Amino acid sequence: MSDIVINNDKPIVVGTSKVVEPTPSFTIALSSGYSTADPSRYDAYPFLYRGGITTAADTGENFIGPNGYGCYETDSKHARCEGSLYIDPHPSQEHVDSNSDATTWKVGVSLKLWKADGGLKTGEPETRSQAAQLKRAAKATANASPEPVTKGTDTFKTVKKATTSSTGGLKATVTASVDGSYRWVYHGNSTTGVATSPADYVDVR
C-alpha cells in the first residue's frame, strides 16, 4: 500500500459527542498471483494507532479503524481507494475519550491475502512513515454588556488578548466608544482546534 493521505493532510479535530469520519485515500499494489479482477482474495486499508501496532490492531485500544472504503481498478495489479475512518468520542467507545489522545497518531495498514482455497496467506499489520495529528475541538462563547439590541457589522479587529482561567473561562474589559459587536477568537495550538464565538452587539448610549 502506498500514496496514503489521511484527512487531506489536515489535523483531525474531535469534540466530545459528534462522530468524526476523516477521509483516507491510498493505492493498493498486488503481488504475483493476485489480480484486481478478484477482490475477494485481498483486503487492505489504513488505520491510525498509538503505542504498539499489534496490540492496537488486536485489541482495538488506541486504534482508529475504517468505516468503509471503495476502490477502482487502474490496472490488473493496482487500485486507487478512498473511504473514511470512524471516530466516536463517547467514553464507552474508547476511540478518543481523553485530552491525552490529542497528539500525533501513527499510520498503520492492514494487508490480508487469501489463498485460492480460502485460507489466510498473510495478514500482519504494518506501520508506515506517515502520521496524523489529532486535536480536540474548542468552543467559544461571548456575552458583552449592555445586552445586544441590534445586528452589528461583520468586520472585526483585535482589541484585546486574554488568557483562559484554569476552567477555560475568559474575561476582558474594553471601553466601547461606538456601537459594535464583540467576539472571542481562539487560533488553536498543537492539541486543540480553532474556535470563534458568535458575536454579541453592544449599544453605546
Q: Which domains does the chain show, CATH number per domain?
A: 2-136 (2.60.40), 138-205 (no CATH)
Q: How many CA atoms lie within 13 A of 40 on its CB side?
A: 4
Phi, psi of 69 (to 5 degrees): -160, 160
Distance in angstroms between the alpha carbons of the first and the last residue of the chain: 66
pLDDT given at position 150: 44
| pLDDT tens, position by position, 44-70 | 899 999 999 999 888 888 899 999 889
The model's pTM is 0.69
The residues, any chain, with a CB within 8 Å of residue 42's CB and separated by 6 or more, are 28, 30, 34, 112, 113, 114
Tell me the C-alpha to C-alpha distance, in Å, between residue 205 and each of 84, 129, 160, 176: 53, 61, 22, 10
12-14 and 125-136: which strand pairing? parallel
Please say if the pLDDT value at position 183 is more than 80.
no
| pLDDT tens per residue across span 67-118 | 988 999 999 999 999 999 999 887 777 667 677 888 899 999 998 898 888 8
User: How does pLDDT run across 194-204, given as a tens digit for each residue?
Assistant: 777 767 767 67
Residues 136-141 have a mean pLDDT of 73
How many Å apart are CA 133 and CA 176, to the nearest integer? 40
